[in-house]
């Protein structure tokens, strides 16, 4: 294991692009001391991309801009964006109550789990009208492939699919226990049912058999895939783990840490360790 950064303030939402690793530091609750951070995947001094927001929670890296969710006032989260190579930050005016975001560099997609009814939304990267693609009880995490978006609804226990252009919602799984983090490789959808005895799950895009890849996990909090294996982070002393797509032997990559985020590239697995350690780490080979 290699430590890329340490003593971060409540790191969340890790991503990797090209040769850099990105994450958000939440800072103190509802205080303007959160930050968007990056570090080279081979190590070095971490860079602060942006600071001064309250409790950033989600992050997406586009081809030309950064996107993140942070508190604008109290508990009203909105989406902020900054073109790469600039310090110009703007907010999306119709992104109230945003929670999780994903971008394909053409559109931004996000979930907004409001108190009464939640929404799945989209907006063109270059600006334009925000569209309500779907509603639900509490849409939570979101992922995308070339043609579809996928999201979990933590309240009604469903995993859902829809064309990026809108249309009918396909329920891929129901009766799940607090489904949260979600990922896709263009063939399957993967998610975690979050509990003390949580599970890592898989189903084909479009629907089909649901496979339990791992069970009895200690609060799985994040999931990702490289198309060959599925990787996840267990929040309560369960570490970082992987299993082959379709099922097989679970391999513990980083044991006995409170892992809260995971990302992967062609050669390594990157993770976030919470609590007071605030570590951004890397395991090679994956």
Task: Using the Cα atoms of residue 244, residue 40, residue 272 and residue 256 in order, give the sign of their dihedral.
Answer: positive
Predicted pLDDT at 208: 97
pLDDT tens per residue across span 54-69: 889 999 999 999 999 9
User: In this structure, what is the dihedral angle of CA atoms 148, 49, 272, 73, given to the nearest 10 degrees?
Assistant: -80
Report, as an integer, the average pLDDT of 269-280: 89
| 235-267 pLDDT tens trace | 988 899 999 999 999 999 999 999 999 999 999
Four-residue CA torsion sign, 255, 213, 233, 156: negative
pLDDT given for residue 74 in this prediction: 59
Question: 240: which residues sit within 8 A by CB, 6+ positions away?
Answer: 231, 232, 233, 234, 252, 253, 254, 257, 259, 262, 269, 271, 283
Where in the chain are the domains?
2-283
CATH level 2 (architecture), domain 2-283: 6 Propeller (2.120)
Whether residue 47 is predicted with pLDDT greater than 90 in this model: the reply is: yes
CA distance 119 to 112: 5
Residue 83 has pLDDT above 70, yes or no: yes
Specify the pLDDT at position 115.
64
The tokens 């080979």 sit on which residue? 285
Above 80 in pLDDT, residue 75? no
Note the pLDDT of residue 73. 65
Q: Given this model, what pLDDT does residue 99 score? A: 95
Task: Give the count of beta carbons closer than 10 Å to the beta carbon of residue 280.
Answer: 25
Prediction pTM value: 0.95
Average pLDDT, the chain: 93
**What strands, in cross-sheet order, belong to the sheet with 47-61?**
11-17, 20-25, 34-40, 47-61, 65-73, 76-83, 90-91
264 vs 1: CA distance, rounded Å: 14
| pLDDT of 172 above 70 | yes
What are the structure tokens assigned to 36, written together? 């968007």
**What token pair was written down for 150?**
């996928």
pLDDT (0 to 100) of residue 171: 98
Instruction: Name the residue among 84, 89, 90, 113 with its Cα closest to residue 100.
Output: 113
pLDDT of residue 103: 97
């Amino acid at each position: 294991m290699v430590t890329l950064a340490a003593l971060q303030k409540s790191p969340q939402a890790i991503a990797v692009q090209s040769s850099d690793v990105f994450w958000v530091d939440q800072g103190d609750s509802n205080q303007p001391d959160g930050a968007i951070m990056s570090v080279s995947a081979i190590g070095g001094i971490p860079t602060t991309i942006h600071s001064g927001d309250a409790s950033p929670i989600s992050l997406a890296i586009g081809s030309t801009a950064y996107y993140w969710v942070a508190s604008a006032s109290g508990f009203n989260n909105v989406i902020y964006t900054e073109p790469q190579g600039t310090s110009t930050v703007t907010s999306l005016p119709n992104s109230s109550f945003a929670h999780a975001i994903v971008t394909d560099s053409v559109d931004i997609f996000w979930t907004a789990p409001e108190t009464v009814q939640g929404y799945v939304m989209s907006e063109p990267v270059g600006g334009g009208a925000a569209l309500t693609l779907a509603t639900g009880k509490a849409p939570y995490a979101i992922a995308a492939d070339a043609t579809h978006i996928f999201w979990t609804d933590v309240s009604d226990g469903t995993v859902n699919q829809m064309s990026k252009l809108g249309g009918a919602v396909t329920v891929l799984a129901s009766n799940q226990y607090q489904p949260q983090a979600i990922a896709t490789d263009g063939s399957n959808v993967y998610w975690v049912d979050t509990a003390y005895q949580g599970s890592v799950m898989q189903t084909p895009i479009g629907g089909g058999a649901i496979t339990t890849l791992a069970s009895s996990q200690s609060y799985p909090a994040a999931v990702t895939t490289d198309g060959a294996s599925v990787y996840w982070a267990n929040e309560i002393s369960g570490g970082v783990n992987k299993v082959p797509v379709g099922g097989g032997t679970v391999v513990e990559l980083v044991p006995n840490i409170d892992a809260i985020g995971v990302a992967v590239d062609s050669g390594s697995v990157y993770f976030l360790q919470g609590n007071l350690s605030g570590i951004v780490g890397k395991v090679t080979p994956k």
